[in-house]
Amino acid sequence: MLPRQRDLRGPLGAPGPSPGSRNDPRRRGWACAGLGLLLFALAPRVAPAHVTEPSTAEPSNAEPSNAEPSNAEPSTAEPPSTPHNEAEAPATTEGIPVLDEATVGGPTLEDGLLPCGLRVIIAQDATLPVAAVVLAIDTGTEDDPPSQPGLVHALAYHLLQGNRELTPAGAAALVHDRGGITSLAVGPAQVRYESLIPLSALSEVLWAESQRLRAPTVSAELWSSTLRWARRDPSLKWRAPAEAMAAAHGMPGLAHDGRQVPAALGQMVPRAIGQALAERFQYSAATLVVVSPHPPPRLRDAITEMFDTLPPATRHARDRMPRWRTGSVPQTLPLAKESGTRFVWPVAPHPAGLDQATVFCKAINRQRRRPGEPSRARLRCDLDEDPRRATMTLRASGVDDPLALLTMRIERLEQGEDESLVERQRQIVLRDRQQQLRSALPLARRLSAAGPRDRTEPGWRTRPVAALTGLAVLSVPWTSRTFGPHLRPGAAIHLVPSQGKPKAKPKDHPEVQP
């Protein structure tokens, strides 16, 4: 049963019930606190990248995390099966096998596109009587205007101020009062509103998400409060410098701090704020992910009905594929305080690409030193995980020629010399992913990072869960496979020390005329 509108409406500043009374919402929250803590304890400790958990009064500070996410699970205990006939799989592209979904077994989900342009993914997880709901919008801090850095981050917070159907912080209060948890994740190219709730509150939370992006309330007073929340978020910490991330992905917007709150944001008038919200936060650029014990077809009609009143729109989610470089040598990027030992790669913006980079990193970090290499030669790999803008950084040390060491180690992986090492790491990553995705919220997060649909017309499709989470590709043995050209030295950005200002040449002494 859908909630009545008056359950969530309330004039701004209206007096609430007296503390401790029967109608006090905090009393209901205390009664459900035990269930909320139980849900939080059972959920895996994999927080979305850059998470904030708003309270019923005002959101708390963001807690950045490099684990992802900002990053689906088979809905039963059965691991996804590999293709029935691996010989029929197409040749690899960029090192990632392209699998026919018809040959992938395991649980299935519903992948639909509504007439309003919203993509909906419904999966089943019957392990607990809880549901996970994630609304992921295809925008991020890299889309900030050059004159207004931090705009998208602030706008994401402002959506918590509600609209004519939701009071400020009303969506968060709804989740908390039902004994659930909610969070906001803001990344370079994706914004996610996440909820983990008891199953009995699913219809109410879905209704709230169907209202979140509709005509948000905008006023100077609310915007001032929003900026106060945004200032509490610390800057994101990445292993790769921001300039290197921007160069690797070919996206200049990654080079700035997306969490700053400059004076220009405080000078925005309500009309400009409303226009910015309408341009960047639309259902036609969003994906709604629902994971619950209900069979996916059971929720299709109810979700479709909630969004029927929105006008038809064309899906316009952006392509976040990196601008892959080609060539035999990395592109150099001069930066201050660099030693010339670091190399940065972009990672494909989908779960299979992140899994491939994870296997690559684990294999590189475990390669043995060859006879003849310096005893101190080391090559270390780190990942900055993000659903759309992940990067991989390799640092060479103990050698005079870092590029030569890097090239030799990657050639060993590409030529199959360390194939058994790679296969062991693939199996480890597969087990870790399967264990990680045994809960509703991690599954919903990973599904929100799935690649774009191959069909643009509205309608529903039944697809394997493993195909959208990347587990189908990760389940393929690493026999005669390579990592592809996008993880070779020519696709990297080489961070080198910047040249200092040239010293001024001494002025020539004037010649003495006789």
pLDDT tens sequence across 270-289: 999 999 999 999 999 999 99
At 94, the pLDDT band (50, 70, 90 cuts) reads low
Is the pLDDT reported for residue 269 higher than 50?
Answer: yes
What local confidence, expressed as pLDDT, does residue 107 receive? Answer: 94
Residue 416, CA distances (Å) to 159, 336, 412, 481 in order = 51, 37, 6, 8
Is the pLDDT reported for residue 484 higher than 60?
Answer: yes
What local confidence, expressed as pLDDT, does residue 93 receive? Answer: 55
What local confidence, expressed as pLDDT, does residue 500 receive? Answer: 59
The alpha helices in 148-241, defined as continuous H runs, are 151-158, 170-177, 202-211, 220-231
Residue whose token pair is 């990654």:
254
The Cα 281–Cα 260 span in angstroms is 20
Q: How many CB atoms lie within 10 A of CB 15?
A: 6
Residue type, 74: P
Which residues lie closer than 8 Å to 213 by C-beta, 6 or more apart? 137, 159, 281, 282, 283, 286
User: Which is more confidently placed, 63 or 182?
Assistant: 182
Sign of CA dihedral 83, 85, 90, 91: positive
pLDDT tens sequence across 382-402: 999 999 999 999 999 999 999
User: Which is more confidently placed, 225 or 85?
Assistant: 225
Average pLDDT over residues 23-45: 40
Note the pTM of the prediction, 2 decimals: 0.80
Which residues lie closer than 8 Å to 197 by C-beta, 6 or more apart? 130, 131, 132, 133, 175, 178, 179, 180, 205
The DSSP call for residue 494 is: E
At 328, the pLDDT band (50, 70, 90 cuts) reads confident
At 207, the pLDDT band (50, 70, 90 cuts) reads very high
Q: How far apart are the first and last CA of the chain?
A: 106
Q: How many CB atoms lie within 10 A of CB 84?
A: 11
pLDDT tens sequence across 293-302: 999 999 999 9
The Cα 466–Cα 210 span in angstroms is 27
- Output the DSSP codes for 222-245: HHHHHHHHHHTSPPP--SS-HHHH
Is the pLDDT reported for residue 477 higher than 50?
Answer: yes
Is the pLDDT reported for residue 255 higher than 60?
Answer: yes
Is the pLDDT reported for residue 268 higher than 80?
Answer: yes
Average pLDDT over residues 431-456: 93
